[in-house]
Amino acid sequence: MKSKHLMPTYGRLPVAFERGEGAWLTSVDGEKYLDALCGVAVTTLGHSHPAIVAAVKAQADKLMHVSNWFEIPEQAQLAEAICDISGMESVFFCNSGAEANEAAIKLARLYGSNKGIAKPTIVVTQDAFHGRTVATISAGGSSRHQAGFGPLLEGFTRVPYDDLEAVRQVAENSDNQVVAVLVEPILGESGVIIPSEGYLAGLREICDKNEWLLMLDEIQTGMGRTGKWFACQHEGVKPDVLTMAKALGAGVPIGVCAASGRAANVFQPGTHGSTFGGGPFVSVVGKAVIDTMKAEGAVASAAKIGEKLLVALRARLGDTELVDQVRGLGLMIGVALNVEIPNLLQRILDQGLLVNVTGGGKIIRLLPPAIIGDAEIEQIVDTIAAVLDDFAAKV
Ligand SMILES: Cc1ncc(COP(=O)(O)O)c(C=O)c1O
């Protein structure tokens, strides 16, 4: 149902869903759709997972909200679980990915300020996406997201993605004002761009040498999506600051800025806060997500299913003229096309499949849940192949 009372911030597709189960959504018209988007990397365990539903119901019955002015044992338990899977030491809770990055940006500035740095500057990359608040569009590399929202926040210096030499140049020419590097381990919104092997390790080395914080935005890549709990673990790199959100909440709003080492205790009482952040309700759900992912081996499944899907997509689409490249890591996969196909999302949706099209309209981004089987893998591949074949046949 369209409404004149909603600000038209989204280009919405003409379908509404009323039910979700596992990898499947049912529309209000009773049509079934295979969800290879996961509400943009959120429902990694599938829709309405019984263990998550049980946690939601039990905690809603018990206690929904108290202020962070009191001890919140559920929050402490989730913090411990997050530190266990990430290797971080301390955690700040908020309500979204953008807020998690806002916290990281504030933390880096305070870290610099504590060191006597007058204009703390954060190295960020071209094509990055870190959220839609003023600070995060300023950190992000999209002129489309920034247009009309100036003046942007200062204190960022931009380098090309996957370019260590450019970061070294900043180190040499920055008057010692740089305090941190903020990057996505894989560019998500810009089209599943995977950097060269050694990129994160190289950044780690530069940060160590200059006493900068390495801050990784794992809001999309984290929580098992790439086949490890966090994408940086593929390279054995431990950041100083790690942000996460999305799949940690399985649909309830949560954001996390985690820190370790010299970043762990930068925030002190009164320096940052959030009314809802880490309330008992969302904390119990986040803990249930981690426990369930562990119990079901969801991270290993993401690696295994992702590899199967990647191989199948390459086998079927690799020689197709329309396809430039099929790339991915775990369940974060991009099919890069040579041409922009009009209404591509709608064409795929019409065949009962939910995906995303990004990277200037030429990259089909797949973010399916870590619970799909061979039949669903086949359906994803068949559907995309059929839509591309149909388009090719008519041009
Ligand atoms: C890498 C990355 N950072 C930040 C965000 C912003 O998260 P949110 O929409 O929860 O604010 C996203 C969302 O897509 C993201 O992919």
CA 87 to chain CA centroid, nearest Å: 18
Distance 394 CA to ligand 1 centre (A): 37
Distance 103 CA to ligand 1 centre (A): 13
Determine whether 228 is an active site residue: no
| CATH number for the domain running over 50-296 | 3.40.640.10
End-to-end CA distance of the chain: give it in Å, rounded.
34
Question: Pocket of ligand 1, candidates 130, 132, 133, 243: which has the most ligand atoms within 8 Å of its Cβ, to mutate?
Answer: 130
Determine whether 246 is an active site residue: yes
Comma-separated ranges of CATH 3.90.1150.10 domains in the chain: 17-43+297-394
Distance 218 CA to ligand 1 centre (A): 9
Ligand 1 pocket residue status of 130, Cβ below 6 Å: yes
Stretches where the chain sits below pLDDT 50 are none
What is the pLDDT at residue 126?
98
pLDDT (tens digit, 9 = 90+) per residue, 109-127?
Answer: 999 999 999 999 999 999 9
Ligand 1 pocket residue status of 98, Cβ below 6 Å: yes
- The one catalytic residue in 35, 127, 217, 240 is 217
Report if pTM > 0.95.
yes
Ligand 1 pocket residue status of 96, Cβ below 6 Å: yes
Q: What are the Cα distances from residue 336, in Å, to 206, 316, 344?
A: 32, 14, 13
Question: Pocket of ligand 1, candidates 225, 246, 257, 332: which has the most ligand atoms within 8 Å of its Cβ, to mutate?
Answer: 246
Comma-separated ranges of CATH 3.40.640.10 domains in the chain: 50-296
Distance 295 CA to ligand 1 centre (A): 27
All residues at 6 or more sequence positions from 287 whose CB lies less than 8 Å from its CB, including other chains: 55, 74, 77, 78, 81
Question: What is the distance between the alpha carbons of residues 9 and 271, in angstroms, rounded to a whole number?
Answer: 32
Determine whether 70 is an active site residue: no
| CATH number for the domain running over 17-43+297-394 | 3.90.1150.10
Distance 20 CA to ligand 1 centre (A): 23
Q: Which atom of ligand 1 is nearest to the CA of 99?
A: 11
